[in-house]
Each structure stands twice: as C-alpha cells, then as structure tokens.
Structure 1
Amino acid sequence: MLYRKILLVALLVLLGAPALADTRTDARRYFTRGMQLISDGRYREGIEALRKAYEIRPHANVLYNVGRAQAALGELGPALESFRSYLESDPPDAESIRTVIADLETRQRLRALVDEGMAAIRAGRHARGISLLEAAYTERPHPNLLFNMARALDDAGEWEAALEKYRTYKSARPADGALVDPKIAALEARLSAKPKPIEPVAPRPNPKEALRPNFDDEAKRLAAKVLELVEAKMSAIRPPAPTVVAPVAATSSAGESLEVGPVRDEAGYEEVVVTASRRAQSPLDAPNAVTLLTDEDIRLSGARSIPDLLRRVPGMDVMQMSASDWNVSVRGFNRRLANKTLVLVDGRTVYQDFLGAMLWNGLSISLSDIDRIEVVRGPGSAIYGAYAYTGIVNIITKRPEELAGTRVLAGIGSHNSLEVEGQHAARMGKVSVRASGGYVRGDKYALEFDPARVDYTTNVDDPALSLSRARLDVTAEYSVAEGARLFLGGGINDGFQELYGVSAIRNQAATGLSSNLRLGYEGEAFSILTFWDRGRFESTPQFYRTGLDDLGSEVRADLLSVEPVLRPSFELLGRHQLVVGAEYRHKRIDWDYLDGPHRENFFALFAQDAWSVSEKWSILASGRLDAHPLIGLLGSPRAAFIYKLTKGQALRLSAGSAFRQPTQAESYLDLSASSPIAGVAVTLVGKEDLEPERIVTVEAGYLAQTDVGEVEAVVYGNRVADLITRTPLIPTPIGLGFDPTVGAYVGAQSFYQNDARVFLALGGEISATVYPVDGLDLGASYALQYIFDEETKLRFTDSPMHKATLWGQFRSALGIDAGFSVHVVSDQEWIEPQFDSDEPSGFRSDPLPIPASLVVMGRVGYRVPGDRVELSVSGTNLTDFGASRHREHPFGNPLEARVLGSVALRL
C-alpha cells in the first residue's frame, strides 16, 4: 500500500504543478493578450502579460514592447532597463535603440529637474522652483512647463510674468486651453484694478537740508528686509497654498507617445509558414493544408528521427524498413526508395537526386538543430517543380542567435545505440556563426541471413550493424540590414547505413560521404540561393549468394543549383504579393548501375500572385514552367480561394496539378543482378522516353485557430496518372544468354514503364489540438484515404485506408517533462517480386499482407534547476516485444522497442 500512496502523491504533485508544454503556444497566448491590453490602454496589465510570455519563452521583441509600454506610462527607469536588455541581444536596429535610450536618459534627467522644481514650489520656494522649470523648458520646451511656471508666478504675486506665461501656454493650443481663459481674465482684471502710483513733484532742493541723512527711507528699507526674512521663515512651517498643476511634461505623461518606434507584433510565437507560398504567411492564408512541428514538439516527442516525428502529421505515410532506413510519402503511394515527397532543408533540396529518394540519416544536421518542420500536405509543383508531387517537407534550422552558447548531448541505449552531438553558436556584431556536429550508431532489428551460412556471403565487417555515421555542419551569417542577411555554409555526413533497393534488390550496405556547400542572400523582397551537393558512395548487397557477383557499385553524383526569387508587393484593387523566380540545375551522375555517366541541365521559371481582395477574401494563383532535357516543357498551375470567416477561421478551396519527373536511375538503369537461385540472374532496365508522373488535385479545407486550441478539416481528391513502375519480373528465354558480369543466365527482366492505369485517391483528414491548461498540449488526428483504379474500381491496397494519431506533451515547472504519441495504421497488401525456385522464371508476385500496426513513442525528462542540465529517457516502438513485433513493409525488418537515455549540458 505504501508504494501506491507514494505514486499517488507524486501524481498529484505533477498534476498540481504548472505545466509548460509547447512553450511557443503558451508564450503566444500571453503575448497576444498583452499586446491587446496595451492597445486598449491597459498598460500595466499588458506589461505583466508580456513579462509572462518572456518568462515562458524569451524573445528580444518582447523586451522591446515592454519598454515601449513602460515609456508610454512615463516609467522611464524601467523602460531604460528593458531597452538596455533588448540591446544586449544585438538586434539589427541597435543604432536606433541607442538613440531611444539616449532620449530616455535625457527625459529622465529632465524629469528629475522638473520634480525638484515642483517640490520647491510646493515648499513655497517659488523663485528656486521657477528657475528649475525654466532650465528644463530651455533645454526641451513643453507647454505643461509653462503652465506650472505661470501658476507658481501667480502664487508668488508676480502677476505680469504669470500672465505672460499663461498667454504663451494658451498659444500652444492645449486641450485644456478653455480652462486657462478665466485665469488670464482674472490676472488682467487684477492688473488693471491695481492703482498706479502718483509720481510726486520734486521739491526744490534746500541747500540747508542737502547734507541731512534720509532716516525715513533707511527705516523703510530695514523694515522690508525684516518682513522678507519673517515671510521666509513662516513659509517653511506653514502648509503651502493649494496649487492646481497640469501634467508636468511628456516625461511624466502616461498618454504621450515618446516616438520610441512601432509596435513589434512578431515575437517568434505566431504560427508562420514559408513553404506553401515561398513567403511568410499565417497557415490561415496558405493555399494548402500545412502542419507545423516546433522544436518543442521535437524535443518532447521521444522521436529520435525525423520520419518518426512525421508520423504525427495527418495523412502522412511513414514506412520503416530497418533501424536506419525509412520511406515517407504524403497521402499514399509510399514505396521503397520513396520519391513522391519533396524534402528541403532551409529551402534547399536534400534528397538523392539520382534516385529521387531521401536518406534521412545522411543529413548534416540533427534534430536539435531544427527550429521547426513545415509539412505541406498536397502537391506543390506550381512553385517547386518536380518531386513536390504529393507534398513537401521543409526542415527549417535555428538561426545562430537562437542557439547562443554551447550545448553537448550524449546518449546510450538498447541494441548498442549511441548518440553524441555538440552545438556552438555566437554573434559578434553583424557576424554570427553556428556549428553543429555529432555521431550516431545502432544495431539492426534483425538479420536477414545467418552469417554462419556457407551458401551466402556478407560484404560487411559487422552484419549486426545498421547505422554508424558522423556529421558536421557550419553556417556563417552577415547581417546586411534588418531582415536581410548574407550566408555561407557547408556540411558533411560520412559513414555506413542500410538502404533497401527496388525490385529484387533487397538490403544494401551504403558507405560514403555526402557534402554540401551553400551560399546566398536572403531579404524580404529578394533572395538568391546557390548550393552544391556532392555524393561519393559505395553500395553492395549485405548478403549475396556465394560464388556470384556481389553487385558492388560506386556512385559519384553532383548537383549545382542557382535560384533567385523576387517578392514585390503593390496595391491595385487590393494588395498583391508576388513571388517571381527562376531556377537552374546541373546534374552529373556516374554510377555503375547505369548505362554510363550522364550530365543534365534543367531550367525553370515560376510566378505567383497572392491577391488580398479584402480583409475576408484572398485569391492565390501560381504557375511554373520546367524544361527537362529528355521530356521538354512541363507546366504546373495552381489556384486557391480563401475566405476568412473571422480573424482566426478560414475556408479554403484549391485546385492544381503537379508532376514527378523520371529520376536518372529510372531513365538510365542497366543492371544485371544475381538471384538466390543458383545460375539465374535478373536484369533491371531503365527507359529514356518515360513520361512524367502526373497528378490533378482538388482540395477544400477549414482551419480555426484560437488561444485554447485549433481544429482543421480537409477533404481532397487526386487523379493520379502515368505512375512510373517496374514491370513484374518477366521470364526470358534461355537464349537471352549468359551474363558474365554476374556469372549467371538472365532468367527474368524488369523494365521501368508508365503504368497505363489511372488512380483516384479520395480522402479526408481531421485534426484537433487543445491547450486545456498553460503548457499542456493534447492532439489527435484521423485520416481516411480510398485509392482505386478508375477503370476497374479495384482498390489500391499498398496504401493504408485508415491512419490515426493521439499525442500529448507537457513541461512541469518542477523540471519534469513528458511526451507521448500513439499511431495506428490499418492493414495493407503489397505486390512485390519474390524469388521462388518452383516457378519456371524463379520469381512470383503474389500479394503480401501487412497487418494493422501500432507505434508508440514517449519521453520523460528532468531539467535540473537552472536549465543547464537535462536528463531524459526516450523510447520508440514501445509495444514491439517478442511476438508482437510488426513490419511496415513485407521486406522490412520486424521493428523492436528501443530506449535511449541521454544527458544534455548547456555551457
């Protein structure tokens, strides 16, 4: 019973502690509330809300807005403190902020001068007080100072001087000018009623009295002196006469604008996406459904790879083949070497261009380098061209200022898992630098063959190893102006991983180096990105039949890309925000599996107009023209209509088309591969006259965003044609001959071709996220997709019909973090070639069923007070033990639970 009580107490403590889950969401809620309160004139309440936002997730612009509100209140000391803290972030507007600080310091000094002067007046020392106010007025004239000096002069009996000050004050046309008129009239009447002294006629001088002292005049002077001294003493002990004082000056006026600068509405808390339209916009304005995964989502999810994290996206198909190989697609049509989803890092393509496939462990960045991932669910060829066929995944990394300092992480887990990484970022004036490096390794989920078998040979030193890679990425930036920067960066990734090939080619051992060099300029109105991707790999089947060729190969691939983009805006019957750009790509490939080395040049032009017809209506039209060296010109149009029901609700209707061009492997492949059947080989052949895959899409969506959560519902229809597929392994006559490259007779061939079938994919997605208390986030989604042959009406069974996800995460103020996600995928049936010695050709293509599956991930962490040390335990495939292990592809490994413990230090 004791352990139950302890557990109950711990649970109550956790639930009772304030939660701080997705800090961006919580901070956004307080920031929005604070800015609205300030806009309504409720400055103090607004400042407190902004401070809460800053406490949850610091951002320099919050300090700026706090300082601005404090200055508007006349709280100059706190305002100076806030602006000085803002300046410590080395913002791009540092010079203008230094001017603001200098102005506030001057106002603070003048405030002290005015306060001292008013205190002297209240104490009856009118001459001293008036001289201080006069000094302040001389340095910085303000009508309120005139009013206070006039009142003091009036109290001191200096009526003529008081009248002059009141008249000067009135000439400034103050708001209370009418109230000053009675004072002016009273002084004028008092001065006109004052009797004018009669000048006596000077008597004739009497010589006899000329030398007599004037004792009467001397007595009067002495009496006046005594009276003045007595008056001074009495004024020090009697209460001063009540004085009506106007606001002292701008330095003490809460309602006066200090010309500090415009409000900063952006503080890094709002959901902003850049991928859907190639410019920053709210998801409510995007032409496609967009899912945003933040750095907090990444950290708390328990996922140790980007594909596992993408399982949370509605409609996303994630297929794990091994501990190091994943395939990802949006809304169906996933495959080995999946090639229908465009993957970017900071807008730069990172898939292996010669395959069109993504090596997720080949990136030069890690999960902790990522600021957010934007997933566009739907075709995007209208502005991105080939491979943005069913969707786009854009991985956006953190800027150096967001990673200021040094962070190191080390983790160790089951199945010899190891992760080590380090980050460092610094800013020196206008130059900032970010460097990140790491190493990761892990064993396989299962061995395809027993290494002790004599009829099979392995090409790897450690048959149990699945992944062993090291990486390094460095970026330098130079701030040209606010919102504009030059950047130069590069990255490398070197090591070993598994890769599942196509057709009869199964698990490959891929070893080698991928690197990139990137250079560009990014501004609001113009950007240009130039990059070079270089790949040098060696691959071979991990197991092959003893005595046959091992099909080892070398890959030398290069890609050079230049892409300038203009983003002008203008007004014409509403606001138009244009995106106009061009792209040039040069590809070079030299791979043993192809018919020879090849060089290709690609060109493209694209344009888009986002027309805000009114506050509620907007229309987006875009189009792209690509020139392919084998196919010719390819066009991709898109249009979207968006209606804002309210500020946080939008309806969207969009339509367009997209394409996927043939990869170099599909065009130029010429490979003879050995099979498990002794003496029999298969030949895989490409085709240069392939048509591009085409898709026409229509989508309708609804999105609502509030401070307590968001809801999204989407329905869509896709018409898919000309899919590039491989023919089944076709038996060939023995007369085709003996192939000396593999030491066997060619028993079957498979060709790339355009599938004559047309498929219709109809589907819907619904998702909801709620924030029931500060920090606690809960989410759920469900996706339905039915794909069928347009002619036969038969269902396409390779893609699951149902996908559902449930997730939650929080951060406790006690330092305890937690997150979990549950993903359910319905059953599938795959058609894949299989070796069969009983078949005349040695192969068959029967349906291979994959049962429904469940994937569970989670994480528990503890942040040591001070947030410099964090301990965590994360796990993936947590329900996959023993006989309950599942596969996600017929040829993939049965997945297994893995747990990783890690410690992270911030230095």
Structure 2
Amino acid sequence: MAFLNFRRALNSLCISLLCPAVALCTELNELSELDYLNDLPVTFSATRLPQTLNEAPASISIIDRRMIDASSATTISELLRLVPGMQSYHIATNASAVAYHGMSDKFPSRMEVMIDGRSVYIPLFSAVIWETLPITIADIERIEVVRGTNTVTQGSNAFLGAINIITHTPLSYQSDAIHYTHGEFNTRNIQAEHNQKTTNGHYRVSSGISGNDGNTFASGAQDPYFKRYINFKGTTSPTLLDTITVDLGYSEGYSSVGDNGPKPNENYKRREFETNYQQINWSHIVNGSDEFKVSYAHSVNNFDARAVTPEEVAHLLSQPLGVTPAQVLGSGIAQAFIDANDPTLITTETGNIEQHNLEITLKQQPSYNSQLITGIAYSAGSAKNRQLLNTNDWVKEESTRLFTNWEYSGFTDWTVNTGALLEHSSNGATRVSPRAAANYQLSERSSIRTSISRAYRMPSLLESNFERVIYIPAPYTGTYGEVFDYEYLANEDLSPEKLDSIDLGFIIRWPEYHSQLDTRIFYEEIEDGITSSYLLPDATMLATAPNDNVYRTYMNRAQWNNQGIELQYKYQSESPLRPFAVLNYAYINSDGYRNDGNQNGSATDVTDRLETRNPMHTASALVSITLPSRLQISLSHYYLGSVRWQGAVSDSNPPNPHYHRTDLKISKAFKLSPESDLKIAVIVQNLLDKPYSEFYADNMFEQRTYLQAQLSF
C-alpha cells in the first residue's frame, strides 16, 4: 500500500513540474514486478484502476505463477479449483466447465472469462469452450478472479463473477522454452515459445500441438482430443507517450461434446473446431499521468460435426410413425427427413460465431487521493446454426455500455469506491448496474470492506433466439403435417436477470508468519432467473404437429438466493525450503426454485427446488516445499460436496455424491548452463485412486499420471 501511494505522489510531482521524463511516468502507471510482489498485490480487475487487494471493492483471488508451477493442474480450467466458491468439472474426458456458486449445467452462463481483457465467452452456447482456447498453462503469468458480481466493470456476463487470464508479455518472460507432456490416455503435448527484442519493440510467439486418445469406455467407444494452435503478442512504443500491443491467435482441432445418449458412454459426439482472434490496444498518456486507451478485438469460432445418417433417423421416426426402422429406411422417408431439416448434424452444439468488441476508456487522477475511469464499449455478435436458431441466416445481437468507476482515499483510513454501468441490448432492454463500497483500514495489518451491488444479466443470443423445430418432408405433409415436433420456441418477451448482493470482506496479514487470510461473507438474491421451461402447445401447434405434447422455451421463471462464507489462507516464505501453502474453503446455502412448466402434457406446473443445485461445501489445498538440489514436492487436495447439476442428474435420481481427490507433483530442476535450465516433473492426479463421478454420473475420474519436461534457454 505504501508503494502504491508513493507512486501516486510521484505521478503528481511529474505533473506539477511538467516532468520531461514522461517515460518514467508511463511506467509508473503500469503493473510492475514490485507491485505484484508487494504484501498485497496490485490488481486492475475490480475497477480497471490500479488497486491493492485491501482497496478494491470486491474479493479477488490471484493464482500467480508460483501457484501454477506447484499445482498438479494440466489444463487452465483445473487451476480454478484453487479459488474458493469455484467449481471446475469435466463433462467429458477433454471437455470441462467452470461455474461460480453453482446453479449451472454444462454451459455456465453467469461468469465472464477474459484473456488479457478480451472476452472468450461464446454467445451461441452462453459459456466458454475451454478446450478450444489457443493458450495453455505455460502461457499464463497469473489469473485474477473477482469473486462476486463485477457487472459494473465488465458488463452483464460478469453477473456472478469474472476471470481474467493474464498471459506472459514479451517483457515479463524473455526466455525461449520447449514444453512436453506425456501421460494418461496417451496424452502428448508439445509447445515452443520464442521471445525477441527488435528495434521496433518486443514480441512473443508460442505454438504447439496437444492431443490424446480419450477414455476407453466399457462399450469400446473413445472420446479423443486434438488441438494445434499458435499465438503472437507484440508491443511497441512509437513515442514516449504511446504504446501499441497486438495479440493474434489461432487454434483448430476436435473433441467430444460429452453428450450422453440412451446408452451411457456410447454417444460421446465428436465436434471439430476452428478459432481465431485479433486484438489491438493503443494507450496514450495525457498530462503525464492520465491514460486514454482504445481497444478492439475480433474473434471467429466455427464448430462442426458429421451429419446424421438415414439409419439414425429411421430409429427416431419408427415409433411415432408406427412402423419398423427398416420400413422407414426402405420408404425413403429417412433421407427426405434429413433433406427437409438440412443441415442436420449429430450434435446441436455446432455453429459459426463472429464477435466484435470496441472499447474506449479514459483513466484520470483528478487529485492525489482519487482515481477515476470512464468508458464506452460496443459489442456485436452474430451466430449461424440451423438446428438451434431455426434459420440459415445469421442471427445478430448488439450491446452498448457506458461505465465509470471512482476511487477516493482522502478520508483517514477509508477508501471509497463507487461505480455504475449503463447497458443497452439490441433486444430492447436497458439497465443500470451500480455498486458502492467502503474499505476501512483497521490497522497496518488488517482491513474490512463492505459493498452493495445491483447487477443485471442480459439474455444471451441463444436464450433470446433458441428455436428448434423439426419438419416433415413435403411428400409426407398430407399424412403427418408440416411439423414433426416443436422442441424449442423463441421467447420475444425475455427479460434480464437481476441480482442484489451485499458483501462483507476482511483481510488480515501476519508478516512475521509470511501469511494472510482473506474472508468474504455474502448474500446474493437473484430474481427473474432465465431457465428452460415446458409449455403446453396451443391449438394451432397441435394441429400442425401431432407428435407434440409440450414444447420448451426460455423464460424468467427462476429465483433463488445464496448466502455463505469464503475463506482463503496463503502462506509464502522465501526461506531455504521455500514453503508455500494455499487453503480454500467455501460454504454456500441456497434457497429457491425454478418453474419447469407443464411436463408430459400436464396442465399443472412443476416446481424444481434449487437447494441441491449448489454444492454446500467446497474446499481445496495446495502445499509445496523445495528441497536441496531444486527438488520440489507439492500436494493438492480437492473436496466437492454433493450436487445435482442441471442437465446431468434427473430429479428422480440422487445427486452426484461428494468426493475427495488428492494429487501429487514432484519436480526436479537442472542447471544445464548459465543460460539454460531443464525441469522434469511427475504428476499423479487422484493419487489414492478413489474414482468419483464428475457431472454425469458415469463420467468417472480415475487415477491419472503425467510426465512433464521443460527446457528453457
């Protein structure tokens, strides 16, 4: 905290003296290594302003490079198990999801995920597709997680929380390196990195190939995975006042979407993907300390899968038509049915998505004791998927956001943060999300924070436009009607979700013990929750679709509240053994319901209680020591309470049971020369070999072993 105030004072001095060394002032406004190694790290995530954790208006967890190197995680999503209140789970061997405070399915829709400030949220699926990201753990410098709503800063996707994955820059990581992993499921990953300084600036390139054969199920089926990727990051300063950064990335491959059909483990469906992104940021220093910044990002995500076969369609039609599959196949109805619903793919989780994001911000320091940022952002997304949107045309959505955050620290021992975001969506909704927080410095070692927020989440592109209608081919409409089934219909009257939250935080440090404790107590009340609901068809629909008893649509038919406590304790010492420990625990008690509508043609609404949709207890721990000869030993432990994930466990079945999992990582570093190092590690996940289910009941996680090698030069 003292260092941050010193920096502000020096900035003010630069202004008052019209300091010619503008480059120095520019550097002082950026995060430095000294910032990050301070007792309380500096972060931009909560407000886009540089703040220590005890000044920020929200609880923030930071997964730094030391935690990453010590952890047993082999994927980015697994790292997030080290955040209290966060759930990371596999929906297939190589597909995963991450949710904060549960209430989710395989597509968590209430948390923003960014890479270097660029959103990787896919509007067609209302989620992040982690296995397609063109980066790996090796590319990450740190991850900052805002635990609690951050809509006021990052828009409606950050309804319950936000994750910002910060990658290495050409300046922060200047060694070249090669990484290799081999292990379970015949995993073979290789990545190479190159950093270069030129007369025009610095750049970093990383590229790799990863893949495995997937799990082999009792049926003999597998769900393999493959990805090749490349990303580029460059930075240049054409003048002392200007900095330009460029980020480019590309990935392609295939994986399983994890759909479970009538026969467990026999219907994992392969999906191919191709993604690319481009991002450019221009930063200009004004008056020595103020910063004007323009950012533009563009991304394309294409997902494809094989077409269904006539044999598969014949099985689907045989029962409603009252004939055998062979008869359906022989009559030609199956192929005609495919032609009428073209393109019909083996999974609906496909499509083409394009996104544009433009943002302009002005960061100011009106006085020594205050910081202010204001901005405007425009986002445009479009998607094309006949099976999900009932059209071959592109479906578009747009949103415009105006936002501001102000920090004032002029009161003795107090820091006040206020902010608001005005968001307008192309569906016609306009909402204001405000937040007010006050942080009080109890002593040099401890501080307390209280905040109150109201946030809105705009319906996603899929939620607003999901319409799935299955048509009968023209030659047979006289007998069976034009529509075979109304599965989903779009709801033009869908409203935004609303969240009111109260947050109490407490941070205490014990410098003599190299440790600190971060506590968060929260209450969250969600109204107008968007959920899939059954409705009875009207007379017209029944006349055109004799097979239809009910249809589904998204509606504002859910409401619930969460209350609980989150704890994170960190111990980090630079003594000879470099002991390190992180302990996390979260308790959350949920209460509420969602109206599931008129199921099975019933005229009575079905109410789904939500108490079991959240794991009441979650915990994780990571401990590590470094022995002589650069031998590091780390143990990780994870606990997840019982939970009934939406879409994974039916209401008639018991929830997924709780589980404990312990991982071991042993690594050894060798100094090959003054410029080169070799590091070899062995990772054993689920060390005690106690299989447990993740998401789907039959998706078992058993012991997995990996060998890693890293050569830096």
Q: TM-score, normalised by structure 1?
A: 0.64
The residue number in structure 2 matching 1:333 is 103
1:768 matches 2:553: no
1:366 matches 2:114: no
Q: Deviations over 1:147-174 (max 9, x none)?
A: xxxxxxxxxxxxxxxxxxxxxxxxxxxx
**3-state SS, counterpart of residue 296 of structure 1:** helix
The residue number in structure 1 matching 2:499 is 695
The residue number in structure 1 matching 2:185 is 415
The residue number in structure 1 matching 2:225 is 467
Select 1:487's aligned residue among 245, 249, 256. Answer: 245
Check conservation: 2:571, 2:580, Cα contact below 8 A. yes
Check conservation: 1:314, 1:782, Cα contact below 8 A. yes
**3-state SS, counterpart of residue 361 of structure 1:** helix
Check conservation: 1:516, 1:534, Cα contact below 8 A. yes
Change (3 A) 1:644 1:797: same
**Greater radius of gyration (CA):** 1
The residue number in structure 2 matching 1:249 is none
1:555 matches 2:351: yes
Select 1:785's aligned residue among 570, 584, 588. Answer: 588
Select 2:434's aligned residue among 628, 634, 637. Answer: 637
Computed over aligned residues only, the root mean square deviation of the Cα atoms, in angstroms, reads 3.5
Select 1:269's aligned residue among 37, 60, 65. Answer: 37
Check conservation: 1:630, 1:689, Cα contact below 8 A. no
Check conservation: 2:648, 2:697, Cα contact below 8 A. no
The residue number in structure 2 matching 1:399 is 169
Cα offset, 1:445, TM superposition: 3.5
Partner letter of residue 762 of structure 1? Answer: Q
Q: Deviations over 1:597-647 (max 9, x none)?
A: 212222110011111123511111000001111132111000000001123
1:283-432 aligned at under 5 Å gives the runs: 283-432=53-202
1:83-94 aligned at under 5 Å gives the runs: none
Cα offset, 1:418, TM superposition: 1.2
Check conservation: 2:91, 2:696, Cα contact below 8 A. no
Check conservation: 1:404, 1:425, Cα contact below 8 A. yes
Q: Equivalents in 1 of 2:33, 2:247: separation in Å?
A: 30
Check conservation: 2:593, 2:610, Cα contact below 8 A. no
Cα offset, 1:331, TM superposition: 2.1
Partner letter of residue 670 of structure 1? Answer: E
Q: Equivalents in 1 of 2:425, 2:709: separation in Å?
A: 49
1:628 matches 2:425: yes
Change (3 A) 1:735 1:758: closer
The residue number in structure 2 matching 1:887 is 693
Q: Equivalents in 2 of 1:612, 1:412: separation in Å?
A: 51
The residue number in structure 1 matching 2:622 is 807
Change (3 A) 1:805 1:833: closer
Q: Equivalents in 1 of 2:544, 2:214: separation in Å?
A: 36
Check conservation: 1:831, 1:848, Cα contact below 8 A. no
Q: Deviations over 1:321-352 (max 9, x none)?
A: 12222121222323211111100011110111
The residue number in structure 1 matching 2:12 is none
Q: Deviations over 1:718-772 (max 9, x none)?
A: 0011111112587999984787xxxx944652221111x4311111012212236
1:469-548 aligned at under 5 Å gives the runs: 469-480=227-238, 485-500=243-258, 507-522=268-283, 525-539=291-305, 545=312, 547=314, 548=316
Change (3 A) 1:470 1:445: same
1:875 matches 2:684: yes
**3-state SS, counterpart of residue 401 of structure 1:** coil
Cα offset, 1:268, TM superposition: 4.5
Partner letter of residue 631 of structure 1? Answer: G
Q: Equivalents in 2 of 1:395, 1:626: separation in Å?
A: 24
Q: TM-score, normalised by structure 2?
A: 0.80
1:717 matches 2:505: no
Q: Deviations over 1:200-253 (max 9, x none)?
A: xxxxxxxxxxxxxxxxxxxxxxxxxxxxxxxxxxxxxxxxxxxxxxxxxxxxxx
Aligned sequence identity (%):
20
Partner letter of residue 704 of structure 1? Answer: I
Q: Equivalents in 2 of 1:519, 1:698: separation in Å?
A: 36
Q: Equivalents in 2 of 1:377, 1:529: separation in Å?
A: 25
The residue number in structure 2 matching 1:567 is 363
How many residues in Structure 1 have an aligned counterpart in Structure 2? 620
Q: Equivalents in 1 of 2:682, 2:80: separation in Å?
A: 20
Q: Deviations over 1:420-462 (max 9, x none)?
A: 1011111124500100111111233454x836xxxxxxxxxxx
**3-state SS, counterpart of residue 374 of structure 1:** strand
Partner letter of residue 788 of structure 1? Answer: D
Q: Equivalents in 2 of 1:689, 1:793: separation in Å?
A: 22
Check conservation: 1:672, 1:682, Cα contact below 8 A. yes
Greater strand content: 2
Cα offset, 1:813, TM superposition: 4.3
Partner letter of residue 902 of structure 1? Answer: Q
**3-state SS, counterpart of residue 257 of structure 2:** strand
Greater helix content: 1
Q: Equivalents in 2 of 1:539, 1:713: separation in Å?
A: 45
The residue number in structure 1 matching 2:443 is 646
Cα offset, 1:474, TM superposition: 0.6
Q: Equivalents in 2 of 1:823, 1:795: separation in Å?
A: 24
Q: Equivalents in 1 of 2:405, 2:175: separation in Å?
A: 40
Partner letter of residue 885 of structure 1? Answer: P
Q: Deviations over 1:688-730 (max 9, x none)?
A: 3211111111000101234310011111000011111112587
Check conservation: 1:507, 1:541, Cα contact below 8 A. no
The residue number in structure 2 matching 1:754 is 556
**3-state SS, counterpart of residue 751 of structure 1:** strand
Check conservation: 2:671, 2:677, Cα contact below 8 A. yes
Q: Deviations over 1:331-380 (max 9, x none)?
A: 23232111111000111101112222111111111111111000000001
**3-state SS, counterpart of residue 403 of structure 1:** coil
Check conservation: 2:179, 2:191, Cα contact below 8 A. yes
Q: Equivalents in 1 of 2:484, 2:633: separation in Å?
A: 54
Change (3 A) 1:719 1:871: same
Q: Equivalents in 2 of 1:658, 1:640: separation in Å?
A: 14
**3-state SS, counterpart of residue 693 of structure 2:** coil
Give the unaligned 5+ runs of structure 1.
1-27, 40-60, 62-90, 97-263, 452-462, 835-843
Q: Equivalents in 1 of 2:373, 2:67: separation in Å?
A: 31
Q: Deviations over 1:176-200 (max 9, x none)?
A: xxxxxxxxxxxxxxxxxxxxxxxxx
Cα offset, 1:865, TM superposition: 2.3
Give the unaligned 5+ runs of structure 2.
8-21, 285-289, 317-337, 339-343, 472-482, 595-606
Change (3 A) 1:319 1:808: same
**3-state SS, counterpart of residue 478 of structure 1:** strand
1:9-24 aligned at under 5 Å gives the runs: none
The residue number in structure 2 matching 1:256 is none
Change (3 A) 1:274 1:508: farther
1:591 matches 2:349: no
1:437 matches 2:203: no
Change (3 A) 1:719 1:501: farther
Check conservation: 1:433, 1:475, Cα contact below 8 A. yes
Cα offset, 1:794, TM superposition: 6.0
